Structure 1
């Protein structure tokens, strides 16, 4: 080292994920890289006149967290929305919504997020008539936590042109009643897109999910400034949780352009990969856009090397695709892709060298996704593709060994499970057959099969708070049989949030370890995580976050 390091971290309990030196006390950072790792005495000797010294005080120091499944733009915008987390019953909902509406008279649509599927009460379906009582004179709509359903009142449905139904893509539905009018329940993006166009950002924050295309008409200069301001707040929020990297799960050129501008301006606080979003109505020729995205955006801070697809919906709305009908019904869910089209898309993406990430929640959706990846391997030959399946909430035993056989990553969100501490435990169980539960949210069983497991939040479905998800993995709620424990070890969990996620993005030689030469993406925690009781892990916070050696957050 020819120059003194810019930053020194001392007195830490470093978990390096470097097999040659798994533990250490201190590190030095120079020119955006980790320059040295060692004892506090060794690293203290490197302090120069311009070095900034951070005393970790005996707390854990880790590679920066990488949240490998987020919706950055939507999560950023929702920080400024009415949050209905924990609200139950029509009276409580009415009070919350009317108070918010009174404070925001300028909003064309009163819009809320995190509305539970049973927000009106157990067994009660949310209808436009109920929401008319909640807010009778203004358009009002609310998002389910999973972002697969919006409920809207009559004013909102009329303003969006949906009261009498409309055309939607495969797997989506404007739920209609016997009188020929919409019930108020809008399932999946193409059904609820017209409602989003009435929000403050006119749906631009969700465009990468809903269409994968850019806003039309193009965003004005004022709209771009508004959107970038929201993204700045969202990235600060992520950095405050120790996050240095994000794998976005929706994408378009517009979002990439905004992030690239922020990189140039110095306001991009987290490295962010944005995918090409391929939709079921799209022809294969649209993959030319993926090649253009990859060519134009390839920096260490903003890049595209992945395609995102959806195979199904979610269990709670009965849109996840199942091998057998939901209990008491003849409905197996809704397929977003037909197998032939999905297989052809996988073959094309794989031939281009793109990584594939597919949302698949039901056991039939998971099977069809594995079939598509197998078809790509058969057509193009085996390669180190690191294709991913997102969520995997229900799995058939026959498909468990296929993850390892095909080299497929299991991309999992511990907080989504009924034992994850966020959602009511009974909701999902009522939608599953008893024999499905043994491999539902089977994180540990998937890990034990030899498959690579990575962790994330799916923000804003749940908060981007890493330590709450760590607790959900290490100390899940205990549920009665047939549910069985899927508890993870602390080290496996931390690896799946750091080195594992760096591996998932093909960056294991550059980040995800505290090792000389690696990118200086580092998080200093408030506690020694290994000394904490598992049930208290969510009390640990981030003391400092560094991305590329730059301090992006300090408590």
Structure 2
């Protein structure tokens, strides 16, 4: 027997492998799991250079994976002031005034994570913040990532003076006096891309590495990255790996947006061959709609503002043709679909492919699925479409339906919000993620909130659709085995078994049986990604 590089012992190993559900020790060699056994077996795995780590009774699980994240783009998106704690206009104006006071000459106020609910009954409008800025240009991303508020000076810098026409459903919101500053959807926000300052390359790289190390410290070993939007992503990741090790394994899905032609689709196919040691391009991301709060979700009936009746793709059939083109080339597809009409069309698109046998199962997945009728639930399992959801997003809603999301969709649709349990009970593969920076990347919070349907550590907060709570095992599977299925990696990831990747997470408590509030704050004893220890606690 060849000696292991690392031996992990003194653990309760929850393998998620039905052939051997429990063990006490794991041996790792060349980035793979070499053996799984008990503490008594450790001696035969050891060599002179083997590192032995005693986990002191911690629970070792397959490595936790964030099923929906934006770690590289998120570095750019989360620049400036964190506005996620702002609850009303008074707090917003105070935060912006403080940021403006600290600006160097010619500087911009940038912010992110701003909750729509902070505006109360007011429409999102730059007039509400202009005097707090003292004339400084400002670009503030709302928490949904699909909209922003720009000040008058920022609009002027980008020469945005009125409405624009886009290939996708997007808008520069205007009133009788011109642009209100509310920019809805990516194409509208991109109008300011050339004028809003970004971190310099060295700062960007440092912030990315710091963010990835924070993720590893929280127990993450991998992330399904739902973009490749930032400039020079492959080059950035290659440069990081030239100097060391990416602490989190990244699987990237570049975007496919309305207006793309066959040549553009073929370029996306060609991107699939790009990879490094700890990263690779693996799939393509579509948007079938936008967000409920922005009025750009695609609903089967109008929302309570009479909006949300259109797809992001003005011609939904063009989306179907694009998915089919990529599928014929063997490319996995991911579709952002929040509204019920968007979910239905994405499922119809897969059904038209006819690729629902074993070879095609889980090659396609749908993200977010915020409100969906019962008749669509069994279609996920029947068509082999993976569902991907973000339990932490329920924090932007309230059980009494007084929040912006619930008031938009109305009582009936709010009552079927984030149907995680219904999808699992219907036999669907259910991947769990954060959508960082839309919500925090900590997988312990994701595991806890999936069970609680309220923020961890807040027992006084009423849960949102509590009947949709997952069991502890279901939540863990959503970050391990089901994440592997959705990526087509079920034969090398998501379990602790010989030959599988050595992506492992050790928590001080058992994430399946410990109280959910305790899971959210459980110390992370060890994180290992690709056979390398990326965090010790």
TM-score by length of 2: 0.92
* Corresponding residue of 2:96: 97
The answer to whether structure 1 residue 238 and structure 2 residue 235 are counterparts is no
* Corresponding residue of 2:519: 537
Deviations 1:280-320 (A, max 9, x none): 0111221121222123x145522223111101011112110
384-393 vs 473-482, which deviates more?
473-482
* Corresponding residue of 2:20: 21
How far is 1:224 from its partner? 4.1
Q: d(CA) in 1 for partners of 2:480 and 2:397?
A: 20
Q: Does the CA-based 8 Å contact 2:275-2:281 persist in structure 1?
A: yes
* Corresponding residue of 1:214: none
Matches within 5 A, 1:32-431: 32-43=31-42, 46-78=45-77, 80-105=79-104, 108-120=107-119, 122-179=120-177, 181-201=178-198, 223-251=200-228, 254-295=232-273, 297-329=274-306, 332-377=309-354, 383-384=360-361, 386-418=363-395, 426-431=403-408
* Count of residues paired in the alignment: 531
* Corresponding residue of 1:443: 420
Q: Does the CA-based 8 Å contact 2:391-2:450 persist in structure 1?
A: yes
Q: Does the CA-based 8 Å contact 1:242-1:544 persist in structure 2?
A: yes
How far is 1:78 from its partner? 4.8
How far is 1:118 from its partner? 2.3
Deviations 1:490-528 (A, max 9, x none): 111111101211221111111221112211111111333
Q: d(CA) in 1 for partners of 2:163 and 2:307?
A: 24
What residue ranges of structure 1 are gaps of 5+ in the alignment? Answer: 203-222
Q: Does the CA-based 8 Å contact 2:78-2:112 persist in structure 1?
A: no
Q: d(CA) in 1 for partners of 2:389 and 2:397?
A: 12
Q: Does the CA-based 8 Å contact 1:312-1:360 persist in structure 2?
A: yes
* Corresponding residue of 2:430: 453
How far is 1:435 from its partner? 2.7
The answer to whether structure 1 residue 522 and structure 2 residue 504 are counterparts is yes
The answer to whether structure 1 residue 501 and structure 2 residue 491 are counterparts is no
Q: d(CA) in 1 for partners of 2:431 and 2:69?
A: 13
In the superposition, relative to structure 1, how do residues 113 and 330 fare at CA in structure 2: closer, same or farther (>3 Å)?
closer
Among 458, 467, 484, the residue aligned to 1:485: 467
SS at match of 1:417: helix
Q: d(CA) in 2 for partners of 1:531 and 1:341?
A: 47
Q: d(CA) in 2 for partners of 1:116 and 1:447?
A: 30
In the superposition, relative to structure 1, how do residues 241 and 418 fare at CA in structure 2: closer, same or farther (>3 Å)?
closer
How far is 1:115 from its partner? 0.6
422-431 vs 543-552, which deviates more?
422-431
What residue ranges of structure 2 are gaps of 5+ in the alignment? Answer: none
How far is 1:470 from its partner? 0.8
